[in-house]
């Protein structure tokens, strides 16, 4: 964009391919089954300049992956979604399995289930497309941890992935996707920050139809940088726990990407928010509400090609960010999804803070809070900075004055009005 009044590009899917899996299937014996999103993550293209080591660029050959997720809702059946959105070649998944987690890289043997795709134990996903497994019977409850194992006999090439998982992923040489024990899984993306590979979502179905899902959309503060590794204390995780405690269970799905920008693609932060919103939010199973927290990286990441800006890029303006938020709201309303605007959290003291950037943050927050464009507002800025100092309270960030710590994420989760989610 070259002018303060330039409009953001139209919302589109980040990749082409087959549509998202349907949220309802028909079983002649049991009638319609309603599928809920139990867990999700937003996929990215491999980056040549990640800020920690990953396996995405090298891919996998004759190796097994073991990835753990915590469900935000339960059911009697489960299925997974895999993505080859950013692969350059077809992805051959030789085998896949799922079961209850029994500890690091281990699975409870009695719960191990082979995953099939259209009845076959292997599948090939064309470049740019995705696939859903067949359902398997596996009773689950909210907050259960499941382990998904994938085996790739053939070379995968570049791996579609999610860079920042804050969860340990394990790798083994050879085919060990059906091994309950962790013995072979001696390699792990940890103690860094972890990544997820190819896994895009887990869905559950059961006897009860839950309220429509809440999808949290944003950057690293939604993604959970600063949370505890394998601790499940990002703000969306803690919001799920609040809903369960209040006897208001519903899926809360995390569509955050670390370093993500609203208006600009970047090698480090993935597709721009306006480009990925449809895929990552609106296409989620039974999406009902989006909580939108994005824009701080547009403000603070300047003169940084890795983050999507060049030396001669003009600084972002408040008007451009407002126009971007308006585009998200229009897209959500077109699909019958309500949009909750979240105020950008403080960053004074962070490496990217400037007085000009602070002015843009405050202008955008004023618009989010007072314009009435959003269906509701959650004031995350006040949750982390109740005295409006422009700084996150010292006991609520990880030391960089930008990312909340687990206590900060708790404050954010507590700031969400649960009654608004019910509307």
Q: What is the 3-state secondary structure (H, E, C) of 189-201?
A: CCCCCCCEECEEE
Q: What is the rounded CA–CA span in Å between residue 339 and residue 83? A: 26
> What pLDDT is attached to residue 31?
57
| 171: phi then psi, degrees, rounded to nearest 5 | -135, 145
* DSSP assigned state of 270: B
> What pLDDT is attached to residue 50?
63
169 close to 197: Cβ distance less than 8 angstroms: yes
> What pLDDT is attached to residue 192?
64
Residue ranges per domain, the chain? 41-202, 211-422
> What pLDDT is attached to residue 47?
79
**Nearest Cα to Cα of residue 149 among 70, 40, 83, 65:** 65
Q: Beta partners for 376?
A: 340
| 17: phi then psi, degrees, rounded to nearest 5 | 145, -170
235 close to 226: Cβ distance less than 8 angstroms: no
Verify cis geometry, omega within 30 degrees of 0, for the bond prior to 191.
yes
Helix or strand (DSSP H, E) at 296: helix 296-300
Task: Give Cβ neighbours of residue 332 (< 8 Å, ≥ 6 apart).
Answer: 277, 281, 282, 290, 338, 339
Task: Give Cβ neighbours of residue 348 (< 8 Å, ≥ 6 apart).
Answer: 358, 389, 390, 391, 401
**Nearest Cα to Cα of residue 1 among 399, 320, 392, 330:** 320
CA distances from 335 to 286, 287, 331 (A): 11, 9, 7
* Structure token pair of residue 411: 């404050």
Q: What is the rounded CA–CA span in Å between residue 400 and residue 260? A: 18
Q: What is the rounded CA–CA span in Å between residue 47 and residue 65? A: 20
Q: What is the rounded CA–CA span in Å between residue 409 and residue 395? A: 11
| 315: phi then psi, degrees, rounded to nearest 5 | -60, 150
Task: State the pTM of this model.
Answer: 0.91
Q: Which regions of the chain are under pLDDT 70?
A: 1-32, 48-50, 189-192, 302-313
- CB count, 10 Å around CB of 97? 23
CA distances from 67 to 5, 128, 161, 333, 398 (A): 44, 22, 12, 34, 26
2 close to 314: Cβ distance less than 8 angstroms: yes
Q: What angle do CA 178, 180, 186 make, to 5 degrees?
A: 95
CATH class entry, domain 211-422: alpha beta
> What pLDDT is attached to residue 21?
34
- CB count, 10 Å around CB of 5? 9
> What pLDDT is attached to residue 208?
84
21 close to 133: Cβ distance less than 8 angstroms: no
293 close to 217: Cβ distance less than 8 angstroms: yes
127 close to 84: Cβ distance less than 8 angstroms: yes
> What pLDDT is attached to residue 317?
97
**Nearest Cα to Cα of residue 77 among 123, 10, 29, 134:** 134
Q: What is the rounded CA–CA span in Å between residue 421 and residue 184? A: 44
> What pLDDT is attached to residue 53?
81
Question: Tokens 């009902």 belong to which residue?
Answer: 288
> What pLDDT is attached to residue 19?
33
């Amino acid at each position: 964009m070259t002018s303060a009044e330039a409009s953001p590009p139209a919302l589109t899917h980040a990749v082409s391919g087959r549509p998202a899996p349907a949220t309802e299937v028909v079983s002649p014996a049991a009638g319609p089954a309603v599928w809920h999103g139990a867990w999700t993550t937003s996929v990215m293209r491999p980056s040549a300049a990640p800020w920690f080591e990953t396996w995405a660029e090298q891919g996998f050959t004759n190796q097994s992956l073991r990835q753990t997720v915590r469900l935000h809702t339960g059911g009697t059946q489960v299925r997974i979604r895999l993505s080859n959105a950013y692969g350059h070649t077809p992805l051959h998944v030789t085998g896949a399995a799922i079961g209850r987690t029994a500890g690091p890289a281990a699975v409870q043997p009695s719960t191990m289930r082979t995953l099939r795709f259209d009845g076959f134990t292997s599948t090939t996903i064309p470049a740019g497309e995705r696939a859903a497994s067949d359902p398997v019977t596996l009773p689950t409850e909210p907050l259960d941890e499941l382990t998904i194992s994938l085996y790739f006999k053939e070379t995968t090439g570049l791996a579609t992935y999610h860079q920042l998982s804050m969860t340990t992923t394990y790798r083994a040489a050879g085919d060990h996707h059906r091994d309950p024990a962790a013995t072979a899984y001696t390699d792990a993306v940890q103690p860094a920050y972890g990544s997820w590979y190819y896994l895009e979502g887990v869905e559950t179905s059961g006897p009860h139809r839950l309220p429509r899902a809440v999808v949290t959309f944003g950057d690293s503060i939604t993604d959970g940088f600063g949370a505890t590794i394998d601790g499940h204390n990002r703000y969306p995780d803690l919001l799920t726990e609040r809903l369960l405690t209040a006897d208001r269970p519903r899926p809360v799905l995390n569509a955050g990407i670390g370093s993500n920008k609203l208006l600009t693609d970047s090698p480090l932060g993935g597709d721009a928010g306006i480009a990925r919103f449809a895929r990552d939010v609106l296409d989620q199973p039974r999406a009902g509400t989006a909580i939108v927290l994005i824009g701080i990286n547009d403000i603070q990441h300047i003169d940084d090609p890795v983050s999507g800006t060049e030396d001669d890029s003009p600084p972002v303006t408040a008007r451009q960010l407002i126009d971007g938020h308006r585009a998200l709201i229009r897209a959500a309303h077109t699909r019958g999804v309500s949009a909750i605007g979240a105020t950008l959290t403080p960053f004074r003291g962070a490496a990217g803070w400037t007085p000009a950037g602070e002015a843009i943050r405050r202008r955008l927050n004023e618009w989010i809070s007072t314009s009435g464009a959003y269906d509701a507002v959650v004031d995350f800025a006040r949750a982390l900075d109740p005295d409006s100092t422009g700084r996150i309270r010292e006991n609520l960030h990880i030391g960089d004055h930008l990312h909340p710590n687990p206590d900060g994420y708790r404050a954010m989760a507590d700031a969400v009005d649960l009654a608004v989610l019910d509307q």
